[in-house]
A and B are shown apart, each in its own frame.
Chain A
Amino acid sequence: MTLDSKIPDAPLETMWRDHKFSMKLVNPNNKRKFEVIVIGTGLAGASAAATMGELGYRVKVFTFHDSPRRAHSIAAQGGINAAKDYHGEGDSVYRLFYDTVKGGDYRSREANVYRLAEVSNNIIDQCVAQGVPFAREYGGFLDNRSFGGAQVRRTFYARGQTGQQLLLGAYQALARQVAAGTVELITKSEMLELVTVDGKASGVVVRDLVTGEITSHSAHAVVLATGGYANAFFLSTNAMASNVTAAWRAHRKGAMFANPCFTQIHPTAIPSSDEFQSKLTLMSESLRNDGRIWVPKDPDETRAAADIPEADRDYFLERKYPAFGNLVPRDVASRNAKEQIDAGKGVGPLKNGVYLDFAAAIERLGRDAVDDKYGNLFEMYERITGEDPFVTPMRIYPAPHYTMGGLWVDYHLQTTIPGLFAIGEANFSDHGANRLGASALMQGLADGYFILPYTIGDYLAPMLGQPKVDTTASEFVAAEQAVRDQNERFLRTNGTRSVDWYHRELGKIMWDHCGMARNRAGLEKALSEIPTLREEFWQNVRVPGSADTLNSSLEKAGRVADFFELSELMCRDALMREESCGGHFREESQTEEGEAKRDDDNFSFVAAWEWNGPGVEPTLHKEALEFKNVALTQRSYK
């Protein structure tokens, strides 16, 4: 298997434009002869399905939600970047590209990132035309803020609900195509197998989550837009149903999985309050603009926060990073918080948080000003914890948030399986080792509106006149049977422990050993523990109910089975990558000051893993990363 990234041999500035000209086209009247399946209706899936419908393709789009509008993109708060330079600050496509490559710690692909920056401006235009109610200045023009450490104002936003509004825009565009009859929308259905015929993606097998009916669907191409896999950690900021199943089943059918260990850990989540907590809630990172982060110097401190005098507090970020202080990048803030807690200095009933203290800001700006700026966040925090941040400092702790790894794709967003495309968070290509703020929404919509709908034509054009594979083909029959067999096995096992119990245990292993700080010993330990737990899961899980009705235990069992296999690959990938980069701190690779040390000589590549069967070691393939336009520099926040 060779990895052909299909990056055109051209200067970045003209690459995408020239490449669009060189790609094969499908005549508008012929587009309706092609059928495309899209899995997922988040920013990437809904925008791709809508756009392909507009172009004339016949599209079938599946979501496991009861409505496309519930996809987890809806929860993104902050904003979306574009290189508009509406404020005359010198922003440009090149600067957005440069910042994004650097922010990804030089582990993303220059060509893809440049294209992302290039189409970013079209995204804003498209969304405005759709009626996305972006924030406005009094003159009626679009407002921006700076976000995630950017030095120009390039982030467009709609209150704290940007993801919601962008998704509604894409969902409405999709609804328009559903009404027009170009797109068939199938809700409450989960893809459980990818079907390949003669090595090409030919369709999918899905389960109707309400009736349990298992059906096959064939098409000329399949697009996965199924999001990320941070729920491998059990506790993450992802929605409860976010999972890796579609991507993982595709991986098992031959699609390579790239950089699986790259997870973004977000520093400002609310720490969990008890063992039964189901997920973590993110607090906006903007809080770090005015909050001071500290822990008591004494691990045995028992006084209330307000009673601890300054002399007994350790403002550890301000102490270690005087230039950036509390505004160090996400990975640095996260790692330092974990260090304090691991040293026993955590705060709160479970000693699992650090203080984010607004007392100084309240004194400096006044309570009303702080309320104006952060009131809604304070209210949300109080609702969840029962504590008032005006009186008691907030408690925060890092949480897995976004996954930069995913299915390997080439410049056309095609995986190593011909006819199978992966877009948005489900692919690996644009974020490198660390995602910048406000860049994930940008990628979802760039892929869905402006890239995939055109690159997919290049794949389909030569297939004109070819019928899609009939769903009675043996490959479909076998895939359906595999789905039925797995469901029956879960229901028959009748063990003693719930699916959630196994998911929680797996999550603990992953957080302890494959989180933001890793070392060889820990990863090797995880790699010995996970297979044991996985075996026990298959022997001893208890899944009540039946397969022919709504059965969330059964749904979760399949997802957790896939998380087990993925988690092993994440640990293997982390073990192989003996460098620190982005948010991924390999303890063996650090500078004398204890900072992350990248190793460009040995690890400037994309790690793409090939599936060799359950329990068999996967094969590592490397795509060398070339940086022709951005000089590699070591990050420093001292």
Chain B
Amino acid sequence: MNLTLRVWRQAGPDAPGRFETYEATDVSEDASFLEMLDQVNEQLTDDGQEPIEFAHDCREGICGTCGLMINGQAHGPERATATCQLHMRKFADGDEIVIEPWRAAGFPIVKDLVVDRSAFDRIVEAGGYISVDTGSAPDGNLIPVPKEVADASMDAAACIACGACVAACPNGAAQLFTSAKMAHLNVLPQGQPERHERAVAMVDTMEQFFGSCTNMGECEAACPKGISIDFIAWMNKDYRKGKMKSRRSA
């Protein structure tokens, strides 16, 4: 198949950006979206031009490195699919495809289609862990966890931190990511001692980098792992309780 690509090119964080048009010819419909870009890049290299920088790694939908706005949609048209798992058979011969980086103030552009998502790490560093030193843990079965609790924790922990939730949000908010990271630990018995302190620290850090949540639900629709916005409600509850607790002890 043959496609026309309109691709965002930007030499660096402070450089002006612009759309460039490229023809992608002879693309196999079995190719993944990123393989299609590989092919375009090989052509650009052969023509003596700089290839398009885009972020990618495992290409199995789990590392969360990839992520493009494709025709205005985070990760493209297919539901619950990361860009690397999107295949060209979802497009038609002759299509024009607009490709942009994640668009959010919290994710500054590094180059072309690559953005800086390190604010996510700052949120985890603020409290997205359980404080246990190596070697001090009791036997695993001394902490029984009801199956439905373990399953709920896993539902939240499936987040791959790709940033699609932020990119899809009209406010550039990171509530879905933060709430998933928090719920993963906060629902578990192991997470209880630091539960409310964690909620406050993570939310307060999140707000330094990202916009506000107005319950649009775009994040859930864009999430390649189908993470539920129910976790945001959970987070808000834990945050409120945490704020109350810290006020009482102050």
Known contacts A66-B117, A126-B134, A278-B59; is-contact A542 B45 (Cβ 8 Å): yes
Question: Which A residues lie within 8 Å of B151 (CB)?
Answer: 133
The answer, yes or no, to whether B216 is at the interface (CB within 8 Å) is: no
Closest residue of chain B to A128 (Cβ to Cβ) is B140
Interface members, chain B 102-144 (any A CB < 8 Å)? 110-111, 114, 116-118, 120-121, 124-141, 143-144
The answer, yes or no, to whether A141 is at the interface (CB within 8 Å) is: yes
The answer, yes or no, to whether A72 is at the interface (CB within 8 Å) is: yes
Question: Which A residues lie within 8 Å of B29 (CB)?
Answer: 386
The answer, yes or no, to whether B161 is at the interface (CB within 8 Å) is: yes
Q: Contact between B110 and A67 (Cβ–Cβ < 8 Å)? A: no
The answer, yes or no, to whether A92 is at the interface (CB within 8 Å) is: no
Q: Contact between B57 and A133 (Cβ–Cβ < 8 Å)? A: no
Report the Cα distance A68→B141, complex, angstroms. Answer: 29
The answer, yes or no, to whether B38 is at the interface (CB within 8 Å) is: yes
The answer, yes or no, to whether A453 is at the interface (CB within 8 Å) is: yes
The answer, yes or no, to whether B25 is at the interface (CB within 8 Å) is: no
Report the Cα distance A134→B157, complex, angstroms. Answer: 11
Q: Contact between B34 and A128 (Cβ–Cβ < 8 Å)? A: no
The answer, yes or no, to whether A138 is at the interface (CB within 8 Å) is: yes
Complex A-B, nearest 4 residue pairs according to Cβ-Cβ distance, in ascending order:
A140-B144, A172-B129, A129-B137, A273-B30
Q: Contact between B81 and A175 (Cβ–Cβ < 8 Å)? A: no
Select A276's contact among B38, B48, B185, beta carbons within 8 Å.
B38
Question: Which A residues lie within 8 Å of B96 (CB)?
Answer: none
Question: Which B residues lie within 8 Å of A54 (CB)?
Answer: 133-134
Q: Contact between B147 and A75 (Cβ–Cβ < 8 Å)? A: no
Question: Which B residues lie within 8 Å of A62 (CB)?
Answer: none
Report the Cα distance A615→B137, complex, angstroms. Answer: 50
Select B132's contact among A122, A129, A133, A279, beta carbons within 8 Å.
A129
Q: Contact between B63 and A498 (Cβ–Cβ < 8 Å)? A: no
Question: Which A residues lie within 8 Å of B34 (CB)?
Answer: 278
Closest residue of chain A to B64 (Cβ to Cβ) is A70
Please tell me the size bucket of the interface on A.
Answer: 35 or more
CB pairs A–B below 8 angstroms (18 shown): A54-B133, A75-B63, A122-B137, A130-B129, A131-B185, A131-B188, A136-B150, A140-B145, A141-B141, A164-B157, A185-B121, A239-B57, A241-B57, A276-B31, A278-B38, A281-B60, A545-B50, A550-B114
Q: Contact between A70 and B57 (Cβ–Cβ < 8 Å)? A: yes
Q: Nearest Cβ in chain A — how far from B3, in angstroms?
A: 14
Question: Which B residues lie within 8 Å of A65 (CB)?
Answer: 57, 65
Q: Contact between A69 and B59 (Cβ–Cβ < 8 Å)? A: no
Question: Which B residues lie within 8 Å of A612 (CB)?
Answer: none
Q: Nearest Cβ in chain A — how far from B243, in angstroms?
A: 20
Question: Which B residues lie within 8 Å of A278 (CB)?
Answer: 32, 34-35, 38, 59
Q: Contact between B87 and A383 (Cβ–Cβ < 8 Å)? A: yes
In addition to A133-B154, A549-B111, A552-B51, 11 A-B residue pairs with Cβ atoms within 8 Å of each other are A47-B134, A67-B161, A72-B63, A75-B62, A128-B140, A136-B146, A176-B129, A240-B59, A273-B28, A542-B46, A550-B114
Interface members, chain B 48-75 (any A CB < 8 Å)? 48-51, 53, 55-60, 62-65
Q: Nearest Cβ in chain A — how far from B138, in angstroms?
A: 7
Question: Which B residues lie within 8 Å of A139 (CB)?
Answer: 144
Q: Contact between B125 and A179 (Cβ–Cβ < 8 Å)? A: yes
Q: Contact between B48 and A544 (Cβ–Cβ < 8 Å)? A: yes
Known contacts A133-B153, A187-B118, A278-B34; is-contact A70 B53 (Cβ 8 Å): no
Interface members, chain B 139-190 (any A CB < 8 Å)? 139-141, 143-147, 150-151, 153-154, 157-158, 160-161, 184-185, 188, 190
Report the Cα distance A176→B121, complex, angstroms. Answer: 11
Question: Which A residues lie within 8 Å of B77 (CB)?
Answer: none
The answer, yes or no, to whether A137 is at the interface (CB within 8 Å) is: yes
Question: Which A residues lie within 8 Å of B145 (CB)?
Answer: 133, 136, 140
Number of B residues, CB within 8 Å of A: 78
Select A75's contact among B45, B60, B136, beta carbons within 8 Å.
B60
Report the Cα distance A140→B145, complex, angstroms. Answer: 4
> Across the A-B interface, how many residue pairs have beta carbons closer than 8 Å?
220
Question: Which A residues lie within 8 Å of B191 (CB)?
Answer: 131
Q: Contact between A134 and B150 (Cβ–Cβ < 8 Å)? A: yes
Q: Nearest Cβ in chain B — how far from A497, in angstroms?
A: 8
Question: Which A residues lie within 8 Å of B110 (CB)?
Answer: 210, 550
Q: Contact between A175 and B63 (Cβ–Cβ < 8 Å)? A: no
Q: Contact between A498 and B46 (Cβ–Cβ < 8 Å)? A: yes
Q: In this complex, which of B121, B134, B158, B184 has the most chain A Cβ atoms within 10 angstroms of its Cβ? A: B134
Q: Nearest Cβ in chain A — how far from B5, in angstroms?
A: 16
Question: Which B residues lie within 8 Å of A282 (CB)?
Answer: 60
Question: Which A residues lie within 8 Å of B124 (CB)?
Answer: 171-172, 175
Q: Contact between B55 and A72 (Cβ–Cβ < 8 Å)? A: no
Closest residue of chain B to A124 (Cβ to Cβ) is B140
Q: Contact between A136 and B147 (Cβ–Cβ < 8 Å)? A: yes
Q: Contact between B190 and A129 (Cβ–Cβ < 8 Å)? A: yes
Report the Cα distance A118→B59, complex, angstroms. Answer: 35
Report the Cα distance A179→B205, complex, angstroms. Answer: 12
Q: Contact between B51 and A553 (Cβ–Cβ < 8 Å)? A: yes
Report the Cα distance A59→B34, complex, angstroms. Answer: 36
Question: Which A residues lie within 8 Å of B133 (CB)?
Answer: 54
Report the Cα distance A122→B132, complex, angstroms. Answer: 13
Q: Nearest Cβ in chain B — how far from A33, in angstroms?
A: 20
Q: Nearest Cβ in chain A — how far from B15, in angstroms?
A: 10
The answer, yes or no, to whether A384 is at the interface (CB within 8 Å) is: yes
Closest residue of chain A to B13 (Cβ to Cβ) is A210
Interface members, chain A 296-334 (any B CB < 8 Å)? none
